[in-house]
């Protein structure tokens, strides 16, 4: 049921992404979950290593089930929040976090490792002011 809801909710923006993908020569692969992989796109036609727009994952040659799982979670985020709120919140979050994926809540929710991002650096330990030996 969620698969159908996500596809319907994301349909308007997904349609635009599909037009963009075909215009740039992408090979389209539709999964049983109605998530579309648009592979083989030239650099500069998508962001970072790849970009999900609605239910469409635009990329060059990333492929693979792990990365797909990460991008599918972004499709869930689009469906849960709606296109305009998701894009606005993602953009605001990127601005506030200096576009560092390990600080971006949407990338974290999608799974940093699955998205090919490095784990966040360790946080510095806070000093408590207590002395040792007491």
Tokens coding 44:
């500069």
Taking the C-alpha atoms of residue 117 and residue 14, their distance in angstroms, rounded to an integer, is: 25
The residue ranges of every structural domain in the chain are: 2-110
pLDDT of residue 132: 63
Summarised one tens digit per residue, pLDDT across range 17-66 is: 999 999 999 999 999 999 999 999 999 999 888 999 999 999 999 889 99
Tokens coding 17:
């992404």
Q: Which of 5, 32, 7 is nearest to 18 (CA)?
A: 7
Taking the C-alpha atoms of residue 120 and residue 7, their distance in angstroms, rounded to an integer, is: 32
pTM, two decimal places: 0.87
Burial of 98: CB neighbours in 10 Å, binned 0-12, 13-18, 19+:
exposed
pLDDT of residue 49: 84
Burial of 51: CB neighbours in 10 Å, binned 0-12, 13-18, 19+:
middle
């Amino acid at each position: 049921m969620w698969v159908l809801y996500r596809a319907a909710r994301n349909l308007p923006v997904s349609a635009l992404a599909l037009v963009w993908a075909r215009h740039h020569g992408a090979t389209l692969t539709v999964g049983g979950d109605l998530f579309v992989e648009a592979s083989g796109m030239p650099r500069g036609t998508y962001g970072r290593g790849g970009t999900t727009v609605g239910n469409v994952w635009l990329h060059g040659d990333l492929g693979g089930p792990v990365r797909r799982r990460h991008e599918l979670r972004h499709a869930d985020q689009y469906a849960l929040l709606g296109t305009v709120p998701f894009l606005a919140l993602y953009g605001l979050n990127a601005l506030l976090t200096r576009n560092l994926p390990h600080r971006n809540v949407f990338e974290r929710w999608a799974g940093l490792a699955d998205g090919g991002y490095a784990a966040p650096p360790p946080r510095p330990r806070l000093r408590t002011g207590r002395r040792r030996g007491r």
